Structure 1
Amino acid sequence: MYRSINKTTIRFLILTLVIMPMVKGMRFDLKTGATKCITEDIKINAMTVGKYSIVNPAEGFPLSEEDRVTVRVTSPLGNNYHFADRKDAGNFAFTAGESGDYMACFWAAKQSHDKSLSIDFDWKSGLAAKDWSKVAKKGQVEMMELELKKLYDSVTMVHEEMFNLREREEMMQHLIKSTNAKMATFSFFSLVICLSVAALQLWHLKAFFQRKKLI
């Protein structure tokens, strides 16, 4: 399977991963007393970072104590990776312990009058979650070595994705074989039943004609 993938395809996949990192930057409105959840598909052992803040509608003035949100980030199995109660801003960072859809939920306490809070939320995972400028500064590596680190991570992601595709293909082949076997069994029993019914009808007609002395 891997031999059929040429170098051009691999380069295309690597460039796609580098140019289109997994980033979710957005601004959304949250009504007080309501909850809004955002999901992100993250692979196991992948790094992910998030940053959120409430947009101050009156610049130069501090936000009121009521303008706060409660934030919780959970894994596909329901494990808590981040929790902040009644904050106007915050951030989180962790390495995924399982693959699947991670969920970040925002909740604003109900106020005496209807109100909406605007929230800036930036969620990065995979290659986009790594601060390469800090890596270069801390390690004091040359630009070429830094590019090789990026390329290595890109190739690793492509390699993992190819394994995932191979596993899915094997599952589909197993499903197809299982379905074909069931269909063959069903067809065989259907044929046996049809032949049995036809034989029973012929026997019944023969017995009927013999009683009527027609044959």
Structure 2
Amino acid sequence: MFNKSVLGFLLTVCITYTSALYFHIGETERKCFIEEIPDETMVVGKYKVELFDRQQNMYVPTRGGLGMHVEIRDPDDSMIISRVQVFDMNIGDFVHTAPGPLGMHVQIRDPKGSTIMSRTYAAEGRFTFTSHSAGEHVICLHSNSSAWFGGGQLRVHLDIQVGEHANDYQQIAAKDKLTELQLRVRQLLDQVEQITKEQNYQRYREERFRQTSESTNQRVLWWSIGQTVILLLTGFWQMKHLKSFFEAKKLV
């Protein structure tokens, strides 16, 4: 019973960041996401873009030259995957963007605003990076369309994988010629490393929260003292003013 409980706990803890979704944005619209990622963590992003065709009433491969711009502000340097699709009106369904001229620009920035990576990718592909600091990573996407007004509608498929899930273990096994047991040990070691990073990040967040709480309590204390001083000074001034008024009226 104890072993099963421990195993269940480890399986729960070993889960790393992974998200897959799609969303619709205008051709000139900008969409941003926030991911909290530990430091020294690899992030992989895969993306694909499609455009809505009003004549076909469905999402179809985007026309030549239309792509997606991805901007990542990365405090932790994580791995992200992004993909975009559009609705083809002819088919009546979301489809993938056409390869070729269509591309996606990826820009990654750290918490200080410095650009970590800036590169243009094809209509469908992937990008990777490794975080160097823990914190919130801001990922922004928008197309490279030059339209000033309106524009079409895009369907964007975004897949984000962080931690050991970003690794292609089949490729690693083939490259390093690992047996099944060796590969499993490699996966477990990567999971333990990711758990350690996550624990360090949680300690970092706890310390930041404690510092914020102490700072807030200190400010509340000084604010209370300031209010008390202001009330005392106001009362003293009122008493002095009333005394002068009564003396002027010869009431005292």
Q: TM-score, normalised by structure 1?
A: 0.64
Give, as a single letter, the amino acid of the residue that structure 1 aligns with 2:106. Answer: R
Q: How many residues align?
A: 198
1:171-211 deviation per Cα after TM superposition (whole angstroms, max 9, x unaligned):
555565666677778889969x98xx9xxx9xxxxxxxxxx
Could you say if the C-alpha distance between residues 17 and 150 of structure 1 is closer, same or farther in structure 2, counting changes exceeding 3 Å?
A: farther
Q: Extract unaligned runs of 5+ from structure 1.
A: 1-5, 202-215
SS at match of 1:144: helix
Contact 1:69 1:109 in 2 (8 A): no
Alignment of 1:17-96 (within 5 A): 17-18=13-14, 20-32=15-27, 34-41=28-35, 42-55=37-50, 63-67=62-66, 68=102, 70-76=104-110, 77-84=113-120, 87-96=122-131
Q: For the residues of structure 1 that align with 2:195 and 2:210, how far apart are their CA atoms?
A: 22
- Secondary structure of the residue that 1:158 maps to in structure 2? helix
Contact 2:107-2:117 at 8 Å conserved across structures: yes
Within the alignment, does 1:152 sit opposite 2:192 as a pair?
Answer: no
Corresponding residue for 1:204?
none
What does residue 129 of structure 1 align with? 166
- Residue deviations 1:71-124 (CA, integer Å, cap 9, x gap): 233223341424217x42232122223333142422241448732122333222
State the distance in 1 between where 2:185 and 2:192 align. Answer: 10
Q: Which amino acid aligns with 2:123?
A: D
Partner of 2:82: none
Residue 141 of structure 1: aligned partner: 178
Specify the alignment match of 2:69 in structure 1. Answer: none
Match of 2:145 in 1: 109
CA distance in 2 between counterparts of 1:104 and 1:187 reads 42
Instruction: Determine the C-alpha separation between the residues in 2 that align with 1:114 and 1:40.
Output: 26
- Normalized per residue, which structure has more helix? 1
For 2:156 and 2:222, locate their aligned partners in 1 and report how far apart those are by CA, in whole Å. 58
- Partner of 2:132, secondary structure, is coil
Matches within 5 A, 1:2-17: 11-17=7-13
Aligned-partner SS, 2:151: coil
Query: SS of the residue aligned with 2:64?
Result: coil
Q: Give the TM-score normalised by the residue count of structure 2.
A: 0.56
Larger radius of gyration, structure 1 or 2? 1
Q: Contact 1:75–1:98 at 8 Å: present in 2 too?
A: no
The residue matched to 1:15 in structure 2 has which SS?
helix
